[in-house]
Structure 1
Amino acid sequence: MAQNILIVGGVALGSKAACRFKRLEPESHVTIIDQDMYISYGGCGIPFYVSGDVSDVHDLRKTSFHMLRDEVFFKNCKDIDIMTETRAEKIDRENKLLHIRRKDGSTDTLAYDQLVLGTGSSPRRLPIPGVDLPMVYTAANLRDAEAIKEVVTKGQVERAVIIGGGFIGLEMAEALADMWEVETTVVEYCDQIMPGFVSSMFARMAQGQMEEHGVHFYVDEEVKAIEGTDTVTAVVTNKRRLEADLVIMSVGAVPNSDLARDAGLEIGKTGAILVDEHLRTTDPLIYAGGDCAQIPNLVTGQPAYFPLGSMANRQGRVIGTNLAGGNAKFKGAVGSFVVKTFEAALAGAGLSLSSALKAGFDAISVQVAQLDRAHFYPDKGMMYLELVVEKETRRILGIQGFGEQGDAVVGRINTVAAFLEDRPTVDRLSNVELAYSPPFSSAMDILNALGNTAENLLDGRYRPIDVDGFAEKWSSNGDGQCLVLDCRARQDGEPFAQKYPERWINIPQDELRQRFKEIPPGKKLILVCNTGVRSYEAQLNLKEMGLDDPVSVQGGMVTLNKCGLDL
């Protein structure tokens, strides 16, 4: 029997659910209702439209074969009715009716057999003076994107302040600073950018990469007000006043769950709509997904909120299948992400160390730096990875990475993301199979090396010190007891030994056995090499010779340098 399906929200989830369902039940009737004038667009492409990488805003609305996904397209190609600039105001679950209000103020009720809520999210706005001033945007929709692009291309913006150092904040900072050479400043409330997603090491790497391209950062600062009369003139924090012609607020998203809440549907702990593995709400005739729905975190098993366009598309297909009587399931997500930082990329999946500890795991992390291609291949770049592991079970909880060539780091993160839900242990990573050829990877891939390093740590063979630990000991000089033993070749290590004669000695790892007596007794040794491989070998050598307490710098000098530690 033909059904009448109503879908509220027509961006990612709604349009995907509608199209999937119509392929399965072409005789049924589908209507998408959306309060905006635009539907079915790639919202994650907004920063790249502002930057000029995407030249036409309508490219974000087109299919891969260049057809504009507008009302005519959905009607002619998909046999789906579209009602734009129409607000869904109330769900009458008892009578299976949806109350709507059109742009002209007229109201109506629409009957449904099944209903889909793809109401998305709204950008969070700080409760501070000045948020409603002209030239304050959130970059949350195509209208914002068009407005920002227009004022920038007209030369009306010399100084921009971005509030929030998360995904959209960083991408918008790059967009303004790169193509348009706008003096761009990012203000972040937490003590690092991308808080909760990556460690402070990766935050410093990404920040340093963007600073090299002219973006300014102020972390651990609270925005108190936005100043201006007819337009924005400045952003005031608890530490300074920043002049600005443009302000972009990127401080997170809030699920649009009021329609569901008012209808008596259950709302989850995250404030998003509670759904089961079939993406049904607590009403079996109503589905929800995308930015308005709560799903399980497959690593922690706890309720989670992941407002990601890629996830909304996959959920849309599940809902479309189930509307037609299918039994598709969406188990949850591990929370994979990637952010472009000019030529480099910052990516991750699962938990960072701080989020793992916060979730109650007894966790540790290991870090590895290695070339992303074979060392003899001319086109290569350094990649940095961190693995988060539960100590007792050896279970992998998450991975983060930063790479000078973004495709390489994203490929490694995606590999781990694909099996995180299986609760893998570190031996899975040590032996994971990847396609190998020198232009693409190393024979012993960095993922294998990362798994091996984690095994060595868990088995007590490896005693590391991370960047933060090294920086602390270096700045305090370890109460005069610490000594850096540089295991690199003379041409690399000797200049440091000469610069810091009381704190640094250079003995190449392959000479350590013969020159062991040159190491001053009674010192706390910190072993360092270029990437951490030789210093680990040196640690084993020293243990064999009776020294059990030296620590090895994770990722070596390349990591210290990439994190901005000035030696």
Structure 2
Amino acid sequence: MAKRVVIVGAVALGPKAACRIKRIAPSFDVVLLDKDDLISYGGCGIPYYIGGDVDNIEALRSTSAHVLRDSNYFQNVKGLEVRTRTEAIAIDRRNKKLKIRNLVDGREEQLDYDKLVLATGATPVVPPLPGIDLPGVSVISNLHHAKTIKDMVSKGQVERAVVIGGGAIGIEMAEALTDLWGVETTLIEMMDQLLPTALGKDMALPVKKHMEKNGIRVLLGERVNRILGDSVNGVQAVETSNSKIPCELVILSVGIRPGSTLASEAGLATGMYNGILVDKCLRTSDPDIYAGGDCVEIPHLVSGHNLPMPLGSLANRQGRVIGTNIAGGCEHFKGTVGTFCLKIFELGIARAGLTVKQASEAGFDPVHTVVVQADRAHFYPDMQLMYIKLIADRKTKKVLGIEAAGSHLDAVKSRVDAVAVLLGQGVGLEEITTMEVGYAPPFASAMDIINNAANSLDNIMEGYQVPIDVIDFLKEFKGNNGIVLDVRSPVQAGPFVEKYGRQWLNIDEGELKSRLAEIPQDKPLLLVCGSGPRSYEAQLLLRSQGINNDTKNVQGGIGMIMFSDPEFAPKDY
């Protein structure tokens, strides 16, 4: 059994593993080291500190009892030996020694270990752009970066900012700068959508519209060519493939790479993303060396592929598993389904599993639905619409992924969490259609949106419903490639008829059967109602009567159209 444990990295996983070891095996000698002097902080809270939701940077380093997690805390309270400003530079696996360097005085020494834990995190990708080293250009990877940026903004040194990268951190930073400080912020993403690894295009489009509504300029499909400025005045502008954007601050958020150099130089196995490979016990290819957090690749429980999953929640869970196993226990970390959530102003986003694109790349034949429904009972006073996308494999009906959005953040997260628990078990669609969830009007509808999403997807798979995504609908409609049949009441549909004329036909659902002769036969019909169910029933009716079989039901109805493209609606709608 191990007696001396050395842990490299003291932000998330490292402290968790160290404290777990000392709780179970108090006699163990545990050494925790890190290159920085600020350790054990909530890195995911950095955008909220910059944006003012978290007033004091020390809050990110404190326990729930408001005790500062510094070296003294871990040494005096947890019984650890802590070495900050210390870099691990080489592993001698044969002799079980770790070579370290003191970054203050440059002194090097060897640390003996029985077990070694690598919690080396990830490093931000810095693109090789001209001007990348100018003052005012920064990544966001630690508290020092956070403090520097907030000091600049709070002192009025930044009127305009450019965020490069449309992933979660980029979006959070754009919101932080805009919401509290009123900085004129532009977000640039080289792909044709925001959150390209987290959401499908149909769910990412509303995110873009929501950010623009809140004052952020979003540029998609643009490449940054250079950053302009000089060493005296700092950043002055960002030049892209299409424009030049004046600014005083540039934040880089274009991705991260697993911090695996120490491991790979020691001959430990790494994967296709250069992350450290580990087994279910989180042991590396050397059984005396464990690893976890942002530096490793772990199995995706839906696709089966190994990949990095840089989430603080996973790092903490993995830290506990490592600590237990080193102290003599036997726990497994099976993998991840990539559960993820994000706040964008008042909008909540969450997802788990695979996107449609990722599912196709993994060899599945994905089918999806988008459902819009009240997140409480529809009659409850503070209900808000929620938008759910559910994805399953056509042949097996295995559920592959879920994406959700809505303004009640906890309600969005709870729905995704409920499905995420099942994704790793390979459940079929039937399990979601009948899944039991709590019901009371202040919390949900009697038929929860999760159940209805599964029902809708089942209808599509069985061929009852023929859908069209909102993005495709907007393209078809604006290209005059179809006529809308709106089965809402004339009061609801009237403004759309007035705006779009003959391209927008309104027949109330209650009158549809008696007015079938008015249905055009020479053009495709795009069926729409408030959220989709009534227009689906209209599709079934028309098919049963042999009338215009070339119909498609707009997924999510007017609710999803408005969510995706608010300008589509008539004025004052």
Correspondence 1:201 to 2:202: yes
Aligned-pair distance for 1:208? 1.2
Percent of counterpart pairs with the same letter? 49
Aligned-partner Cα distance in 2 for 1:447–1:202: 16
CA contact (8 A) 1:487 1:509 kept: yes
SS at match of 2:472: helix
SS at match of 1:247: strand
Q: Which residue of 2 aligns with 1:115?
A: 116
CA contact (8 A) 2:239 2:245 kept: yes
Q: How does 1:83-122 map to 2 (within 5 A)?
A: 83-103=83-103, 104-122=105-123
Correspondence 1:500 to 2:503: no
Q: Which residue of 1 aligns with 2:158?
A: 157
Aligned-partner Cα distance in 2 for 1:116–1:373: 46
Aligned-partner Cα distance in 1 for 2:27–2:489: 74
One-letter amino acid matched to 1:447: I
Q: What TM-score does the superposition give when structure 1 sets the normalisation length? A: 0.98
SS at match of 2:162: strand
| Per-residue Cα deviation, 1:378-414 (whole angstroms, up to 9, x for no partner) | 1011111111110000011000111122111111111
Q: Which residue of 1 aligns with 2:392?
A: 389
Aligned-partner Cα distance in 1 for 2:2–2:283: 20
SS at match of 1:394: coil
Q: How does 1:133-282 map to 2 (within 5 A)?
A: 133-230=134-231, 231-282=234-285
SS at match of 2:58: helix
Q: Which residue of 2 aligns with 1:18?
A: 18
SS at match of 2:77: helix
Q: Which residue of 1 aligns with 2:309?
A: 306
Q: Which residue of 2 aligns with 1:132?
A: 133
CA contact (8 A) 2:398 2:427 kept: yes
CA contact (8 A) 2:2 2:326 kept: no
Correspondence 1:486 to 2:486: yes
Aligned-pair distance for 1:192? 0.6
Aligned-partner Cα distance in 1 for 2:495–2:109: 79
Aligned-partner Cα distance in 2 for 1:288–1:347: 27
1:414 aligned to which of 417, 421, 427: 417
Aligned-pair distance for 1:132? 1.2
SS at match of 2:443: coil
Aligned-pair distance for 1:494? 2.7
Structure 1 runs of 4+ with >6 Å offset: none
Bigger drift between 79-88 and 503-512 goes to 503-512
CA contact (8 A) 2:7 2:31 kept: yes
| Per-residue Cα deviation, 1:177-202 (whole angstroms, up to 9, x for no partner) | 00000001100010011013111122
Aligned-partner Cα distance in 2 for 1:365–1:250: 30
Superposition RMSD in Å: 1.1
Aligned-partner Cα distance in 2 for 1:96–1:521: 78
Correspondence 1:530 to 2:530: yes
Aligned-partner Cα distance in 2 for 1:457–1:443: 22
CA contact (8 A) 1:2 1:27 kept: no
SS at match of 2:513: coil
SS at match of 1:485: strand
Q: How does 1:343-492 map to 2 (within 5 A)?
A: 343-478=346-481, 482-492=482-492
Q: What TM-score does the superposition give when structure 2 sets the normalisation length? A: 0.97
Aligned-partner Cα distance in 2 for 1:367–1:206: 15
SS at match of 1:383: strand
Aligned-pair distance for 1:241? 0.6
Q: Which residue of 2 aligns with 1:562?
A: 563
Aligned-partner Cα distance in 2 for 1:286–1:489: 67
Q: Which residue of 1 aligns with 2:343?
A: 340
Unaligned runs of 5+ in 1: none
Unaligned runs of 5+ in 2: none
Aligned-pair distance for 1:2? 6.5
